[in-house]
Amino acid sequence: MTLPRRSLLAAGALAGALPTALSLALWPARAHAAVGQPAPDFTLTDTQGRPVRLSALRGKPVVLEWTNPSCPFVKKHYQGGAQGNMQTHQREALAAGAHWLTVNSTHDSSPDYLAPDALGRWMAEQKGSPTATLLDADGRVGAAYAARVTPHLFIVDAQGQLAYAGGIDSIASARVEDIPRATPYVRQALAELLAGKPVSQPSTRPYGCTIKYKSAA
């Protein structure tokens, strides 16, 4: 029996929204990043070999976006070049005075892995404009944030507290047509934060492709 395409996509989104046994095996038995608590600091190298430290950006909100260019849910939000949904979010965030860090935690043993230069070219081809595109091939930063899927988004406030964790929006599909009618959680949360208001939905359910962390074996 062949399942309809929409059913298959929904099943993939549901599976991706849950941590896998593999992912859990990689995450030490310790507290992960929690909304309302200090965001774990980190230093990662960008696609041009430059170190970027989260705490060095304190004073402005920072959006963290986990990505994997091969993921159909990532493609959904990047489709359309400069007019893509993710690129629009990036530009809006920077224009409002925030930083945006795109993180790839795909391990180099995965077919989805992209070397730094290839990842940099991909972002340029998409006409994305994050503050930096970072590599986390050993998965340590992804583990610290309990990042599960791509895209999985977090917002760190200007004081270094985690203010939002979850999905980019409310419709867990890989269909570009669903973007206009979805509740834009990240855009909404960042606008509230920049206006000095409490984030009305600080935690939402992420959806996408399971992050290809290093095999525990």
Domain contains 160: yes
Residue 33: pLDDT above 90?
A: no
Domain contains 45: yes
Q: What mean pLDDT value characterizes the chain?
A: 88
Q: Which of 28-37, 39-48, 121-130 has the lowest mean pLDDT?
A: 28-37
Domain contains 211: yes
Residue 150 CA to residue 52 CA, distance in Å, equals 21
Rounded to 10 deg, the angle between the 185-194 and 85-95 helix axes is 0
Tokens standing for residue 142: 């992804």
Our count of domains for the chain comes to 1
pLDDT in tens, 91-117: 999 999 999 999 999 999 999 999 999
Burial class of residue 186 (count of CB atoms within 10 Å of its CB; 0-12, 13-18, 19+): buried
Domain extent, residue 158, equals 37-103+148-217
Domain contains 8: no
Domain contains 73: yes
For residue 41, the domain's CATH number is: 3.40.30.10
- Of 184, 190, 187, nearest to 170 (Cα)? 184
Residue 12: pLDDT above 60?
A: no
What's the predicted TM-score (pTM) here?
A: 0.86
